[in-house]
């Protein structure tokens, strides 16, 4: 099977944009996961301290709860989400790369994982995550949603059809 560039079909700007947006979202998701697995306790501790100083003032003032009490409770949840982000990131990375090659099944796969990633990012944005993780959530949500739209625009559809026709005649 020949690659998209060697089929004679012109490279689509729409699919290039969709693929790059998907790659940005995937890399942001991967960074979220790696950052939490490598440096999660410190991130969570600072977020817990910020929470106790602002919203949890009564419990913190009475000495009932400290940041060190909250960190072990949150680590498992963050580690589970980190593994989830790594999985979404790897699949989105592969599918976005193959969208650049005008593979229709990759558009479908990217669509599914863009929706999952955007929903998870929106959920994380509403949660008490550290600010740095919220930045990665916002980047992931925006870029994956934008890729989701661009990958199904008429220009992208035409490029996939052109690639299929070029492969069929080759």
Q: Cβ distance 89 to 30 under 8 Å?
A: yes
**How much is the pLDDT for 3?**
45
Mean pLDDT to the nearest integer, 151-165: 89
Whether 94 has a pLDDT exceeding 90, the answer reads: yes
**How much is the pLDDT for 56?**
53
Mean pLDDT to the nearest integer, 18-29: 96
Residue 50 lies inside a defined structural domain of this protein: yes
Residue 90 lies inside a defined structural domain of this protein: yes
Residue 12 lies inside a defined structural domain of this protein: no
| pLDDT tens per residue across span 105-148 | 999 999 999 999 999 999 999 987 888 999 999 999 999 999 99
Residue 14 lies inside a defined structural domain of this protein: no
| pLDDT tens per residue across span 45-93 | 777 777 777 765 555 555 676 767 777 777 888 899 999 999 999 999 9
- For the chain, what is the domain count? 1
**CA separation for the pair 123, 140 (Å, rounded):** 12
**How much is the pLDDT for 10?**
62
Handedness of CA 37, 43, 45, 48 (dihedral sign): negative
Q: Which bin fits 143, alpha (ψ -120 to 50), beta or left (φ > 0)?
A: alpha
**CA separation for the pair 143, 155 (Å, rounded):** 19
Q: Cβ distance 146 to 22 under 8 Å?
A: no
Q: What is the residue range of 85's domain? A: 27-169
> And the tokens for 98?
């193959």
**How much is the pLDDT for 2?**
39
């Amino acid at each position: 099977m020949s690659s998209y560039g060697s089929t004679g079909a012109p490279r689509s700007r729409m699919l290039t944009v969709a693929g790059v947006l998907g790659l940005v979202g995937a890399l942001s998701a991967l960074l979220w996961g790696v950052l939490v697995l490598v440096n999660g306790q410190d991130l969570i501790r600072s977020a817990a301290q910020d929470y106790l100083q602002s919203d949890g003032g009564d419990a913190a003032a009475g000495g009932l709860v400290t940041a060190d009490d909250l960190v072990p409770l949150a680590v498992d949840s963050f580690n589970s989400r980190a593994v989830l982000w790594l999985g979404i990131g790897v699949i989105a990375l592969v599918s976005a790369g193959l969208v650049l090659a005008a593979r229709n099944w990759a558009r479908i796969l990217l669509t599914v994982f863009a929706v999952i990633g955007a929903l998870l990012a929106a959920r994380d944005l509403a949660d008490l995550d550290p600010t740095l993780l919220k930045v990665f959530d916002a980047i992931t949500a925006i870029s994956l949603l934008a890729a989701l739209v661009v990958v199904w625009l008429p220009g992208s559809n035409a490029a996939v059809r052109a690639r299929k026709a070029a492969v069929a005649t080759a």
